[in-house]
Amino acid sequence: MLRKMSKAKLILRDGTTFSGDSFGADISSAGEVVFNTSMVGYPESFSDPSYTGQIMVLTYPLIGNYGVGGACKDDDGISKRFESSKIHIKGLIVSEYSEDYNHWDAKKSLGEWLKSEGIPAISGIDTRALTEKIREHGTILGQIVPDNCEKQEFYNPDLDNLVAMVSPKQVKTYERGPKKIICIDCGMKNNILRSFLDRNITVIRVPWNYDFIEAGLDFDGIFLSNGPGDPSMLTELHKIIKKAMELKKPIFGICLGSQIMALASGAKTFKMKFGHRSQNQPCIDTETGRCYITSQNHGFAVDPSSLKKGWKVWLKNANDDTVEGIKHEDLPFFSCQFHPEATPGPTDTQHFFDQFVAML
């Protein structure tokens, strides 16, 4: 028999209120309300550090029916089922929550997982109406307030250096083959790390503001990871990458990493109206005309008109024509705004890792 749920409200900054049933932690939480149109993959998405500071609205109507897998790590201590060591979203909004889950690998319900990590969640919300509001207004601040809990101040994550919150504090090396890359961890998903290690690449994982050039580290290439927040705030990293570009060694960026590469080269970024968060974004390779179906999670994009001489738009979103990747015309620098490592999502662009490895 399913338990009776307590009530909770989603309160938006403009005063709009949605009421529903609480199935997560009984605490208040505030953040930026964004929507994700993915049908599956919530364990991977919720544990993606790029969602730090955000209350996620899932547009797919039924969530939780396959539960959550148990903790399991590989020989390198990397989780096999999650993209980091914890949930990063500030809260969850769904239309219908399935407490009765069924999957061969499931160890607990979604609600149990959220409660164990102190994340509030509401079901019974008209997510179509909420998503339409976000599409018209743009991302909006909000807060989840369960019954008998106090309201919080509205929180704008764009005002904080979120990368500093999720980036590691120490350098860590994963030994593999003779080729070495500096992996700048701005909130890197685990499957990016797996993707390099599976290709026999030694990874030197460094904090977001670690000057690996000044430290004298030996490496063959540089990787810039995904991460949360406004890329323009990371001025220390812009300076490091600008110096790194002078070495003319291969550089590959994903998501936030693509934006950082653009900023370091002198280009600009901007906040999107409601961003791209889904597993079915079509992107066009401007060199070949090929279309990839991609997994995305970003709220900022590169301004194509600001790209400097020698740089070009390599990939474009087929829906709204925004930049999905840039490339230098002569030097081995390239990036993509989406996630070729998937988890969750399609694996159409995993060969981007092979392209980078071939450059080393």
**Over its length of 360 residues, how does the chain's per-residue pLDDT go in tens digits?**
455 679 999 999 999 999 999 999 999 999 999 999 999 999 999 999 999 999 999 999 999 999 999 889 999 999 999 999 999 999 999 999 999 999 999 999 999 999 999 999 999 999 999 999 999 999 999 999 999 999 999 999 999 999 999 999 999 999 999 999 999 999 999 999 999 999 999 999 999 999 999 999 999 999 999 999 999 999 999 999 999 999 999 999 999 999 999 999 999 999 999 999 999 999 999 999 999 999 999 999 999 999 999 999 999 999 999 999 999 999 999 999 999 999 999 999 999 999 999 999
The tokens for 56 are 């996620």
Containing H/E element for 132? helix 127-137
Q: Are 279 and 295 in contact (CB under 8 A)?
A: yes
Q: Is 293 exposed, middle or buried (0-12, 13-18, 19+ CB in 10 A)?
A: middle
Catalytic-role residue among 32, 44, 83, 341: 341
The tokens 């110096």 sit on which residue? Answer: 243
Note the pLDDT of residue 5.
Answer: 77
Active site residue 329: no
Non-local CB neighbours of 321 within 8 Å, separated by 6+ positions: none
The CATH label, of 3.20.20.20, 3.40.50.2000, 3.40.50.880, 3.40.50.300, for the domain at 162-359 is 3.40.50.880
Which bin fits 48, alpha (ψ -120 to 50), beta or left (φ > 0)? beta
Active site residue 339: yes
Helices (H), ranges, 227-293: 235-245, 256-264
Q: How many CB atoms lie within 10 A of CB 4?
A: 6
Sign of CA dihedral 60, 64, 67, 69: positive
CATH of region 6-158: 3.50.30.20
Q: What is the C-alpha separation between 239 and 225, in angstroms, rounded? A: 16
Q: What is the C-alpha separation between 70 and 108, in angstroms, rounded? A: 8
The domains of the chain are located at: 6-158, 162-359
Pairing assessment for the beta strands 17-22 and 121-123 based on DSSP bridges:
antiparallel
Note the pLDDT of residue 288.
Answer: 97
- Max CA pair span of the chain: 65
Catalytic-role residue among 238, 276, 328, 339: 339
Q: What is the C-alpha separation between 104 and 132, in angstroms, rounded? A: 36
Active site residue 276: no
Catalytic-role residue among 255, 276, 283, 324: 255
pTM across the whole model? 0.96
